[in-house]
Amino acid sequence: MLRTCRSQDTIAVHQNISDGETIVSGNAKFELGFFSLGSSKDRYLGIWFKNTSPQAVVWVANREIPLIDNSGMVKLDDQGNLTLVNGSGKVIWSSNSLASGLNTNLVAQLLDTGNLVIKNETEILIWQSFDHPGDTYLPGMKVGKNFITGRETYLTSWRSADDPSPDKFPNPELMPITTIPVDYCDNYGVCGSYGSCSIATSPFCGCLKGFERKTTISDETSADHNDTSVCRRSIALDCGPGEGFLKFSSMKLPDTENAVFSGNMSLKDCEVACNNNCSCTAYANPNITQGGVGCLLWFGGLIDVRVYSQNGQDLYVRLAASELSDIRSRFDRKKRVVMVVTLSISALLTLLGFILAIYIRRKWKKSSDAGSSNHMGSVEVPLFGLSKISRATNDFSVDNKLGEGGFGPVYKGVLEGQEIAVKRLSKSSRQGLDEFKNEVICIAKLQHRNLVKLLGYCIQKDEKMLIYEYMPNSSLDIFIFDESRKSLLDWPQRFRIIHGIARGLLYLHHDSRLKVVHRDLKAGNILLDHQMHPKISDFGLARMFSEDESEAKTKRVVGTLGYISPEYASNGLFSIKSDIFSFGVLVLEIVSGKKNRGFVHEDHDDSLLGHAWRLYKEGKSLDLIDECLRLSYSTCEALRAIHIGLLCVQQRVEDRPDTPTVVGMLNGEGSLPPPKKPAFFIQESENNSNPIVSLLSSSINEVTLSQVDGR
């Protein structure tokens, strides 16, 4: 697979690049990747010019040890070492670079210059390919002796066109021999003394600040001012007090023929040395690796200076006192102008924002007054008028009806070009205005890939409607409980759905700005998008907790029988562990394809939870799996899912795992503790319509139990 990255894309720590992949530099001039030469099947990691024919390779990593197949892999470890390994994991090339004490967010990056560098988040350079050249010289390379390390670097030719391994001896003269594509500014000294070349400007040549063009006959007779221009100082130096240095950034340093190098001076020492010598015209620190010391002092004209778009170096040029003062005055004036403009724009935007806020508030109030006196107030979800929703659903056409639950019918529609699902609360709905407000406010503050997205709502006259994103595959219960459809969900899909529901709960319980207990988690409230990804829906019964709250109590228990936890049913106590219980029931239903409520077995009267527990104790948990999954399920995953489901439905709240633990267990983290006997072990009798009340009647104290079964 070919992967192309844009400007300044990097290889992150531990990211692997398989054979055949490419990284493209920002100017689309160079590429890094794997290649072969001629008829040879050997493969190399290298850098080449993009869109050239034939391919022009400028640098090769594994020159002497090629890959013999397509299993090569590049790795950047957390020590700053870039390695190339073959299919058996053997390292065949390494940068041999160690970022001792600097290994924070290390990256490998291909620069616009064709230089492959390794650096950390503070831009400290650890290693660069320019220090290890092949047979091609690229602008910016330093060939010769390094005054700091004493190391000598030269170009070495290839053995042949099909063999990039280095020739027997290094060739210091190879650089006048090799030819490469160049731009105008690559020509030596093209802009003359104190001139600066930039391919981003027209003309290319200009003078450094503090210098001006000297008129020549060739300037007056030629329309092209990119040729032998001469720059001179605007104000001559007098070695008087006040002379100083102006910093130029992203520069190619001048030719060093008239420069002196000192390897043990800091940048501040370098400035003092240049300032104390009236003949010194400029200074710089040439050492860009790991913040090292070093000082270059120039005496005389500055030749072959150019501006890079990035990754250049800092150059400090000596200017007269009055010239520096003038530049600083112009800079201060420009800064003041920018500040005035910025403040003016900020004030204008603030005023416009204030006017817009007043307009929106008045429009909101007008819309609310026209619709209903029971308006929602300020929430982060749009309010739609009844007429607009009516048009979107073709006047609530029967053909657009998706289904109906205890809260009312649900219609499909198209609103502003987007498919929607409209939940229209019936006038006899058991979800009142409080539940409706709760759902709007709750979902408006929750955003997660495994939660259904609320697009808006409508309150007008006697109508209360919620507008959701449309889920083309409806709800989970339609698949797992329908004999004709359950085979459409194989085991990998069901296991992914279990994972998705768990991640949605983790967000509700721990990761969102609010701690939310859903209180009605069931198969009918899990919607499936076009890729069968699960989304938790229906937050009408949800409760938001503050950070210091862990549980709450109510005298009116609401939810769906078969999913309600025992402590909630008997004492009205609910917490995130109540949702965990419902999740456990849901997991066992997804695995078995059977409903917990109304489960029937020919050999016993156990509920689905009791049946799962019986099979677990007998070592026959795999017998619980839906028959249609026999050819697709993973034994390890299925047993783990059943085990986790049983852990979630235990009688005691403290015995159930919390949400992060559930997610970790689903990801295979750690060993699973043995479950205890689940709650609601015995199935209800045929003559008892309320099993929870019959089983727990002795402990219920002033609690009203209401089943809510709507969508």
Q: Which residues are catalytic?
A: 520
Q: Which of helix, strand or coil describes residue 353?
A: helix
Name the token pair of 678.
């689940």
What is the spatial distance between Cα 480 and Cα 486, in angstroms, rounded to a whole number? 5
d(CA 271, CA 269): 5
Single-letter amino acid, residue 120: N
Residues shown for the chain: 711
Residue 51: C-alpha distances to residues 25, 28, 195 (Å): 13, 9, 32
Q: How far lies 323's CA from each of 227, 318, 327, in Å?
A: 27, 10, 6
How many CB atoms neighbour CB 233 within 10 A?
17
Q: How far is CA 453 from CA 181, 439, 445, 542, in A?
A: 54, 12, 10, 15
Residues 6+ apart with CB under 8 A from 462: 427
- Cβ of 386: how many Cβ atoms within 10 Å? 15
> What amino acid occupies position 162?
D
Long-range contacts of 180-183 (CB under 8 A, 24+ apart): 180/56, 180/58, 180/136, 180/137, 180/138, 181/49, 181/52, 181/56, 182/139
Q: Are 118 and 107 in contact (CB under 8 A)?
A: yes
> Which DSSP string corresponds to 482-522?
-TTTGGGS-HHHHHHHHHHHHHHHHIIIIISSSEEE-S---
| Nearest residue to 691 via CA among 502, 534, 563 | 563
How many CB atoms lie under 10 A from the CB of residue 65?
A: 16
Q: Give the sign of the dihedral formed by CA 247, CA 252, CA 253, CA 258.
A: negative
Question: Which residue is it, tokens 């070492």?
Answer: 81
End-to-end CA distance of the chain: 44
For tokens 């709960």, the residue is 505
- In what helix (H) or strand (E) does residue 424 lie, and over which residues does it extend? strand 418-424
Give the whole-angstrom CA distance, residue 153 versus residue 128.
Answer: 13
d(CA 560, CA 568): 12
Strands (E), 333-407: 401-405
Number of C-alpha atoms within 13 angstroms, CB side, residue 502? 24
Chain mean position to CA 151:
41
Q: How far is CA 384 from CA 55, 365, 422, 463, 464, in A?
A: 60, 13, 12, 12, 11
Residue type, 298: W
- Whole-angstrom distance, CA of residue 196 vs CA of residue 317: 13
Cβ 29 vs Cβ 56: under 8 Å: no
Evaluate the omega torsion of the peptide bond into residue 181 and state whether it is cis, within 30 degrees of 0.
no
How far apart CA 689 and CA 39 sit, in angstroms, is 81
The Cα 327–Cα 410 span in angstroms is: 70
| Type and span of the H or E element at 240 | none
Q: Which helix (DSSP H) or strand (DSSP E) does residue 280 occupy?
A: strand 280-284
Tokens 């003359």 -> residue = 192
